[in-house]
Each structure stands twice: as C-alpha cells, then as structure tokens.
Structure 1
Amino acid sequence: MNLAYTPTTICAVATAPGRGGVGVIRISGQGLLPFAQAISAGKTPKPRYAMYSDFVGADGQAIDNGLLLYFPGPASFTGEDVIELQGHGGPVVLKMLLQRCLQLGARLAEPGEFTKRAFLNDKLDLAQAESVADLIDAASESAARSALKSLKGAFSSEIHTLVEQLITLRMLVEATLDFPEEDIDFLEKADAVGKLHTLRAQLQTVQASARQGALLREGMHVVLVGEPNVGKSSLMNALAGDDIAIVTDIAGTTRDTVREEIVIDGVPVHIIDTAGLRDTDDVVEKIGIARTWQAVERADLALVLADSRDGIRPPLQAILDRLPPALPRVHVFNKVDLSGEEVGRSEQDGHPLVRLSARSHAGVDVLKALLLEMIGYHGDSEGVFLARERHLDAIARAEQHLSLAAQDWQQVEIFAEELRMAQNALSEITGRFTPDDLLGVIFSRFCIGK
C-alpha cells in the first residue's frame, strides 16, 4: 500500500547508530494520520498519547512492535504532523521500518531537516535551533546547561531586547530626516546619543557572555612544545589524569602528535603533545617534528616546557624565537622535585612562568587555573550563552556599526544607516535576517534525525 504522500514527508532514524534497547524513527509532514494508521495495522492513535502497536509491512506482517506517538501540527516539534515509532534498537529492524516509511511515501530526511522545519515554521529561532545541536554535542556539564538555556530562549531574548531598542532608536533618528533643519536639535533633546551609549554597553555585556559561551562550546587548543625529554608527555598525562602518552627517559619517544581532551572547570581543553624539537637524522622523528610546527600554527596557547635544572637553554631559545609572535605562551619549568625549587607561579620575559612537577602532580592545579585565566574564562557559567563563531562575528559587526554611528551621529543619514546595519547584523543571530545559503550551511552540520 502506497499512500502517495507529498515529497515533503520526511523520515529518519532519530537514535544513535548501533544496537540499543530502543530505536526511534521520526516522521514529519502534512496529514500523517493515514500514515500512522497504515503502519499500525489500522489503529487510530490519540494525539500526544503513546499507543502500543505492531508496526506492519505492506503485506500486513509485523516488522516490529512498540509505541507509536502522534503529534498533529502545529503542536509539534517541527510545526507539522509528527509521528515517532519507538521500537527495538537493532539496525536490521530499524532499516526495515525505515524502508516501510519510504514505501508509504516519505523520503529520507537531510541532516538537520527536522530542526530546520521547526525554524521555518516559527517553532524555534535560529539561535535556538543551533542550541539543539550544541546540547547534543556538549563536552561538559557547564556547556550542556548553557546550551539548554539557549534552547529555552535566553540568548534569543537578549538579542531581541537589543534589536527592539535599536528599532526604537532608528525610528527616532529616521523621523528627523524629513526635517533636516531641526534634526540635530531634535536628536539632542531626545538624548539619542545617550540612548546609543546605553545600547552599546548592553551589547558589550552580551558580547562578554557570548565569548565565555564560545569557550565552553569550542574549548581551547593547547600545544606542548620543548626539547626532548623535558616531561611534555608526563605533563599531558598529569593534566589528563591518565596515562595517555608513553613516558620514558629516552629522548625522542614521542614521534607524532598525541591529542587528548580534558575539562577544566567546565571548559574543554584540547591538549596536543608533540615530538621534542631538535635536529635529528631519524626520518620518522623528522615527520613528527614537522607535525609539531603544524600544531603550533593552529594552537590557541603554547606551553613551553623546560627542565627546571636547565632553564632556557640555547636550543629552547631557538624554539621560542620560532613561535608565532601573536601566540600566547606559558613557560613551564618541570621537575622541581629534582631541582629542589618551590612550586609556584611567577613571570619570565613578560610571559607567565609555572614551576611544577608533572610526575608528582605538584603545581598542576596552578597551571590549570592559569590556563583559564589566559583565555579569559572567569569560571561562572550562570549567565553564559553557548555562542558560535557566527554569533560572535555578528555581535562584533553590530558593535562596529554602533561605534561608527556614535562617531557620525551629527550626519543623520549616516547615523541612520549605521543603526540599520547594526540591526541587520544582530538579526542574523536569530534568523530574522539571514541569507538562505547560510541556513544550508548551519543545518547541514546537524545529525540526520534532528
């Protein structure tokens, strides 16, 4: 039986690949009650109630059994009719059920298409839609809490407030364009510049929260560099709390980059242990050293390790001279358990210096705290929104336009145009003003069942 549904009916497995106790298939489209009846052998589901049923094929034979939930639109996640089939989580049975959905006229959903439909049907704005993926991908409890706040609309509410204030200010400014001989006096009496300063201050507060949220979402990439046998692998193991990297007294043990993700106070930190930098004739070690420099180019922060008994020797100074000038760095003097120096933090050549023992873990907490300080994370995620790079870019562009507006407020046409551009930039965050090609990029990064 083929019910000949329109091509807009979509279906997908909504649970993770592999075997599990429960597998879920989601269907979204228009007029799906006959679809539900066909797959449940003629049963009519009650909206928003779980109905136990066999799930049958075209020949009426049961493929599986479980719960069927029917959500008539617009009171559903996508705003359309939605059906969820909750059966057993075996790959074969899910494939058979998915094939049955295709027989009934559905097509396979594209990545993120369910959430995209929710956005297009005004069930979510764009920032909320992105937070669905962020909640799934959250690497820490802090990131998950911030993503949930964004999903519930906290970030969007802040942006909407700013946009509404911008609209009010634009109305005030553009109303003067018809009376050019009085425009400056009118704007001064209405305190347009004061309103603009207040708006900029609020935007900067949101920007600070968004930057903190970007750190929770993306984390930071920290590369360990130094001469061979100074304890880079030991430090990585100490930071990770596990024996990730091989540690020996033989110089050149690490011949390739080793990556591990840890969480410090809710912030994901991607640590990259690298091959010791030195002149060598070993072909394999040379490849590892080349990859070390590639990792350095992509890093957010460099931990430059030295043996505390040696300090910065000429070979290490050569490494320092080659590091990108703009790359923040922390000098780490390891093995204080052998040198007899005190654990602690100081400064050297304008860069932070931490003395520690990777082997005994003494001073590692000092280094962790410094890492958070170096990236500007303040440790409080309560008011933080899990922002993306495009959000930070939009806020930065809005701030730039408001800055230009403040400079040229006496040229009313320019003032009005800069305010308009600032509003457009902020509206990109929620999707009120977003190019279609950007939507395609955003939702293509979602998993299939969302």
Structure 2
Amino acid sequence: MLARHHDPIVAIATAPGRGAVGIVRVSGKGLAALVQALCGRTLKPREATYLPFRDAQGQAIDQGLALYFPGPHSYTGEDVLELQAHGGPVVLQLLLARCLEAGAATDPATGQPCLPGLRVAQPGEFTERAFLNDKIDLAQAEAIADLIDASTEAAARSASRSLTGAFSAEIHTLRDALIHLRMLVEATLDFPEEEIDFLRKADAHGQLSNLQQTLASVMQRARQGALLREGIKVVIAGQPNAGKSSLLNALAGAELAIVTPIAGTTRDKVQQTIQIEGVPLHIIDTAGLRDSEDEVERIGIARAWDEIAGADAVLFLHDLSRQDAMEYIAAEAEIASALAQKLPQTIPVIDVWNKLDRAPAAAAIAAEGAGQAETRRGVWLSARTGEGLDGLRRILLEVAGWQSAPEGLYIARARHIEALRAVSAHLQEAADQLQAQGPALDLLAEELRLAQNALSAITGEFSSDDLLGVIFSSFCIGK
C-alpha cells in the first residue's frame, strides 16, 4: 500500500452544478476530533443528525444532515463522515474548505491537529480505499463506475449485478476449481514414479475439461456484458444526398442532423448513441463522399474517412432513386473500392439501399449487386417512412455479436475479456501437456499457475499498482 493510501481524504461527493442536496465526504482513521470540530458535538454511528455547519468563527455556513460511519463498517472501511447540505456549488466549496481548515486546526484535548494530513481526494480514491480495505474486489469497483456511466437500462442492471458480486462469484468458482487441480498436479511432482496413474485416478483430464467448459460459458457471458458496456461504433457512409442524415434521424427517433436536398449539407460528423434491445450503438453520420472544390467540405470528407477507419461496422448507403445514373454508379464503385482498400476484412460493411418509397421497383436492380460481395449483408429501406428499419436493427445486433440476453447477465470490460482469453490459452496449453505421452508435469503446473494469476487479475487479487492507477483515475472525484 502506498503512503498516500494512509492519508485522510475529503471531497465533494456529488456531481458539479446546482442541486437540491450536495455531499461532502471525509474518510480516514480517527475522525472523532474532526467530527467535534465540524459539528460541535459527537454523533451516533449511522444516525442522521440535523445541525448547523459552522465556520471557524462560529458562523453558520449551512444547515443539514451529518452522518458518521465508524470503520470498518463504512464504504471505505475507514471512519467516514458525510455532510449533506444544500447543493449549491459555493456552499459545498465552503464546506470543503472548512473540513481542510478544521483538520489542520489544533484539537484542544490533545494539542495536536484534529486530522493531520487531511487532503483533497484524487479521482476514485474513496472506491480505491474500499478495494484496498477488502470491502469490494476490483471487478466490483469497476462496476461502480460502469453503473454511473451506464447508457442503457440493460447496462445499468448488468452493472448492478456485477456490483453485488455476480461476476466475481463466477471468477471465484473458476479459481477454486483451478486451485484444486493445481494442488493435485503439484502433489504428483513428489511421486514421479506414480504420477501418471495418480492423475488418471483423480480424473485430472476430466477436471481440466470441466474447467474449460465453464470458462467458455463465462467468456460468452462476459462478451455480452462488455457489449452492453461498450456498444459498437457504426459509421454511415455514402455519396451526398443518399439519405445518411435521414437514416441517423430515423434510427435516433429525433431530428439530429440537418436534412436538405442540397449536396454537401453535412460537413462534419453528427453522432448519437441509440439502443437496440439494451445494446448501445454509437451511430455517426458523416459528410458525403465525393470530390469537392470546397475546402470546408474536403475537411469534412477527410474526417469522414477517419471515422470509417475507426468503425466497428459501416453502413454503406445507396440511393435507389439514382441507380440508373451512370455518374452515380461510377462514384459508387470508387467508394466501394476505397472501402475495400482501407477497411480490414474483419470490419463488416452493410449495404443499405435507401429511398425505397421513391423507387419501389428498384429493389430488384439493387439486389443484383452493383459490386456487392456474396458475404455482404444488405437491407432495403426507406429512412423517410421507416419501412425496413427493423431489418436494419436486427442486422446491427447480429454484427455486434449480440445474442438474446441470458438471465442474470453481468457487466464486463475489455480487460476482463483479455484476462479470460489468457486463462483459456493457458488451460489449452495445460491440456496439451496432459494429453502428451510422458507429460512434463512441471510445465503443466506452471500453465495452471499462470491461468490462476490471469483469473486473479480480474478481481484484483493479483494486480499491479499501475493497473489500479489506470482504473481508478477514470472515476469522478468524490467517488
């Protein structure tokens, strides 16, 4: 534990701006003297007390509720004091300054500062204290931030399940089974002449196979949970006036982008996050792709290609009303060629044939392809009337990799997926060793040890200070 982890900390624990209630939170060891200085009295544990909050001269800053949580029965595991006042920014800043002032002031009973070393908390430091004091594990700590940042109801519910320990319980079940198998393998190292029969009788192969099957199930659920958290980035691309902005508006259900018959209306990206079955999709409308003499439009087109390059999926929008125009067909071929060159094959391109309401007979022409690859998905729709939008939504879910949400889905992060992949790789190496003739049991034991370390990194039982710094720095101050 770093030296700063022993410092008492204080911060405003509510969001910036005005509100009905604002909270200033203090955490540290031995807050009794500070409580007396701030509240003018002792407080009963876990009982709200209505009283004035006074400055050093005895003048009331505000009146509100004070709550005292003696450690270890608190959020951080340390003593915690919460001052709940009116949520004006100035009031909360005055209370924060008063806490720092009172902490440095001399306690008449001891002649020492009331709370020496009290400082303003860094982002996420309260939750970091909770982790370091074993109130929560690392996956639960991350779930707190995910719950706050959730962009859909499904993501919020999944983050809540992770916060209660659902994901951690799955990891602990895997870890316990892995530890049991490690003990079995390492015990055989002391009996080299009987090791193979010993492992066979203990069904080490069956235990390892069951571990891999359980891990596969956890990975599948974790991928779905990560999808709920992250979503995917979908870029709408195509020629000017193909209906890109209209499609964005139709998917979002709001007039977000300006729609006119004038080519080049959209000159910069317009982004909106929508949800389909709880999965967040970050839809980006871009400038029409064409050669242009307008400097501003050229910048917008360059930015469009930048967005396309970073997309998880691209909606290539085609205008059914212009399918017979030779100039339009040639431009389509150029865009298709550029997409093929600039995008990896792993990034799906979905052909969207728009303006079905203006050219209902053109669907058959569009189906012939215009260079469409056999593996490319396609959908025919009208962004103006909404016809065919449900089909596009279904395709987007398929592209995202979403399956019907299993019961009790938990939130997960990219680092969790990477850790589970590492576990899977180590278990496969272990299985290969176990199946080989004359297996090297020391190598088998090492692969199992590495698999356990990768699992433990998810819950923070095996982690570095650098990892903790990255995770908690993304939290808000006061949390």
- Global fold match (TM > 0.5): yes
Alignment of 1:150-299 (within 5 A): 150-299=162-311
Does 1:317 pair with 2:316?
no
Which amino acid in structure 1 is aligned with residue 347 of structure 2? L
Q: Measure, in 1, the Cα distance between the counterparts of 2:236 and 2:6.
A: 53
**Cross-structure match for 2:14:** 15
Which amino acid in structure 1 is aligned with residue 187 of structure 2? A
Q: Indicate how the Cα distance of structure 1 residues 94 and 101 shifts in structure 2: closer, same or farther if over 3 A, else same.
A: same
Q: Measure, in 1, the Cα distance between the counterparts of 2:425 and 2:250.
A: 43
**Cross-structure match for 1:3:** none
Which amino acid in structure 2 is aligned with residue 90 of structure 1? G
Which amino acid in structure 2 is aligned with residue 226 of structure 1? G
Q: Measure, in 2, the Cα distance between the counterparts of 1:188 and 1:93.
A: 70
Which amino acid in structure 2 is aligned with residue 8 of structure 1? D
Which amino acid in structure 2 is aligned with residue 375 of structure 1? A
Q: Measure, in 2, the Cα distance between the counterparts of 1:314 and 1:424.
A: 56
1:246-294 Cα deviation digits (max 9, x unpaired): 1111111111111111111111111110111111111111111110111
Q: Measure, in 1, the Cα distance between the counterparts of 2:349 and 2:159.
A: 30
Which amino acid in structure 2 is aligned with residue 328 of structure 1? P
Q: Secondary structure at the match of 1:424?
A: helix
Which amino acid in structure 1 is aligned with residue 358 of structure 2? L
Q: What's the TM-score, normalizing by structure 2?
A: 0.90
Q: Indicate how the Cα distance of structure 1 residues 7 and 424 shifts in structure 2: closer, same or farther if over 3 A, else same.
A: closer
Stretch of structure 1 that moved more, 381-390 or 27-36: 381-390
The counterpart of 2:431, out of the listed 406, 430, 448, is 406
8 Å Cα contact 1:132-1:147 kept in structure 2: yes
8 Å Cα contact 1:167-1:423 kept in structure 2: yes
Q: Measure, in 2, the Cα distance between the counterparts of 1:341 and 1:358.
A: 17
Q: Measure, in 1, the Cα distance between the counterparts of 2:166 and 2:362.
A: 46
Does 1:392 pair with 2:417?
yes
Stretch of structure 1 that moved more, 376-385 or 84-93: 376-385
**Cross-structure match for 1:53:** 51
Q: Secondary structure at the match of 2:189?
A: helix
Q: Secondary structure at the match of 1:354?
A: strand
Unaligned runs of 5+ in 2: 104-117
8 Å Cα contact 1:342-1:355 kept in structure 2: no
Q: Indicate how the Cα distance of structure 1 residues 341 and 11 shifts in structure 2: closer, same or farther if over 3 A, else same.
A: farther
Give the Å deviation of 1:310: 4.1
The counterpart of 1:340, out of the listed 357, 360, 365, is 360
Give the Å deviation of 1:190: 1.5
Q: Secondary structure at the match of 2:76?
A: coil
Q: Secondary structure at the match of 2:72?
A: coil
Which amino acid in structure 1 is aligned with residue 357 of structure 2? D
Which amino acid in structure 2 is aligned with residue 31 of structure 1? G
Give the Å deviation of 1:111: 0.4
Alignment of 1:86-97 (within 5 A): 86-97=84-95
1:110-156 Cα deviation digits (max 9, x unpaired): 00000000000000000001111111001011000000000000000
Q: Indicate how the Cα distance of structure 1 residues 327 and 7 shifts in structure 2: closer, same or farther if over 3 A, else same.
A: closer
Q: What's the TM-score, normalizing by structure 1?
A: 0.96
Give the Å deviation of 1:367: 0.6
Q: Measure, in 1, the Cα distance between the counterparts of 2:123 and 2:307.
A: 31
Q: Measure, in 1, the Cα distance between the counterparts of 2:391 and 2:424.
A: 35
Which amino acid in structure 2 is aligned with residue 327 of structure 1? I
The counterpart of 2:139, out of the listed 111, 124, 127, is 127
Q: Secondary structure at the match of 1:338?
A: coil
Q: Measure, in 2, the Cα distance between the counterparts of 1:341 and 1:237.
A: 25
Q: Measure, in 2, the Cα distance between the counterparts of 1:59 and 1:341.
A: 83
8 Å Cα contact 1:308-1:355 kept in structure 2: no
Give the Å deviation of 1:341: 4.4
8 Å Cα contact 2:161-2:408 kept in structure 1: no
The root-mean-square deviation of aligned C-alpha atoms, in Å, is 1.7
Q: Measure, in 1, the Cα distance between the counterparts of 2:158 and 2:337.
A: 40
8 Å Cα contact 2:426-2:448 kept in structure 1: yes
Stretch of structure 1 that moved more, 113-122 or 300-309: 300-309
Which amino acid in structure 1 is aligned with residue 407 of structure 2? E
8 Å Cα contact 1:146-1:381 kept in structure 2: no
Alignment of 1:342-357 (within 5 A): 348-349=372-373, 350-357=375-382
1:284-317 Cα deviation digits (max 9, x unpaired): 1111111011101111000000012445823222
8 Å Cα contact 2:320-2:362 kept in structure 1: no
The counterpart of 2:69, out of the listed 64, 68, 71, is 71
Which amino acid in structure 1 is aligned with residue 350 of structure 2? V
**Cross-structure match for 2:129:** 117
Give the Å deviation of 1:185: 2.2
**Cross-structure match for 2:161:** 149
Q: Measure, in 2, the Cα distance between the counterparts of 1:399 and 1:341.
A: 51
Give the Å deviation of 1:339: 1.0
Q: Indicate how the Cα distance of structure 1 residues 27 and 341 shifts in structure 2: closer, same or farther if over 3 A, else same.
A: farther
Does 1:358 pair with 2:383?
yes
8 Å Cα contact 1:177-1:183 kept in structure 2: yes
Q: Indicate how the Cα distance of structure 1 residues 309 and 107 shifts in structure 2: closer, same or farther if over 3 A, else same.
A: same
Give the Å deviation of 1:9: 1.2
8 Å Cα contact 2:320-2:363 kept in structure 1: no
Q: Indicate how the Cα distance of structure 1 residues 208 and 343 shifts in structure 2: closer, same or farther if over 3 A, else same.
A: farther
Q: Indicate how the Cα distance of structure 1 residues 275 and 186 shifts in structure 2: closer, same or farther if over 3 A, else same.
A: same
Aligned length: 444
Q: Indicate how the Cα distance of structure 1 residues 31 and 101 shifts in structure 2: closer, same or farther if over 3 A, else same.
A: same
